[in-house]
Structure 1
Amino acid sequence: MTDCLFCRIVAGELPATVVLDTEHLFAFRDISPQAPTHVIIVPKAHYANAVELAQAAPALTGELIAAAGDVAKQDGIDSYRLVFNTGADAGQTVFHAHLHVIGGKPLGPSGLDLH
């Protein structure tokens, strides 16, 4: 999708600080981090949200979550939050399924502004 921000990042059309690049997944640092570690992991194929991803590609969904553990380990953290926002009312602003990996500081129960 040429109008999708994350598709354009995956395609190399827009710059990103790449953390992980596999056959099916792409991870990069958030440009507006909410914690010392704030990485976004996306499937390279376009799915509008987490539910669409899980319904169409359950194995890829598991791969995405497993990759979050790899990202956390790479950043040297063992406590972190994983966040999927699904839908505009939940704060999703880029409608390409993506998982936030957030950590590196005490996060508390809530209060993060994630897109």
Structure 2
Amino acid sequence: MTSRCPFCTKDRPQDDSIQIEQGSVYFLRSPDPVLQCAGMIIPLRHVSTPFDLTQTEWNDTFELLGKAKLLLDQDSPDGYNIGWNVNPVAGQTVPHVHLHVIGRFVDEPFAQQGIRHHLKKQENIRSSHVRFGTDSRP
């Protein structure tokens, strides 16, 4: 039995959430009611991480990023977060690579809190970790 991938062409919903296509990638508008000015750039080919993208997929992603921004600019965001989640430990829930493009607004409760905000908190320090190539364990 093969699993279904919500981002693969054969499995994805056929609706108007796909806003733009650029060669080997497409931009899918986010259905999330909290992220009303957001979407994802997704390669047509099923690939798990950005480290596995071809040069063509990288180039198409970069070109589509500019077009996606123009589309999202219609909602007049005050800023953007752009990022990848790679592997489950980093928050990747669908094993098909996707670049998040998220419009941010000054009146959001979490305005001015960037991608690393929660990661930089004291309670996120590992009990044993390596820093700058040296093991800091006692």
Whether TM exceeds 0.5 here: the answer is yes
Which one of 41, 61, 66 corresponds to residue 64 of structure 1?
Answer: 61
In structure 2, what is the equivalent of residue 14 of structure 1?
13
Runs of 5+ unmatched residues, structure 1: none
Matched-pair contact (CA < 8 Å) for 2:40–2:101 = yes
Alignment: residue pair count: 107
Give the direction of change, closer, same or farther, for the CA distance of 1:101–1:13 in structure 2 (3 Å limit): closer
RMSD (Å), alpha carbons:
2.5
Work out which of the two has the higher radius of gyration on C-alpha atoms and give 1 or 2.
2
Greater RCO, CA 8 A, separation 6+: 1
Equivalent residue, structure 2, for 1:42: 42
Report deviation, 1:22.
3.1
Name 1:95's counterpart in structure 2. 95
Higher helix share: 1
Cα 1:89–1:105 shift into 2, 3 Å: same
**CA shift at 1:25, angstroms?**
1.2
Fraction of identical pairs, as percent: 23
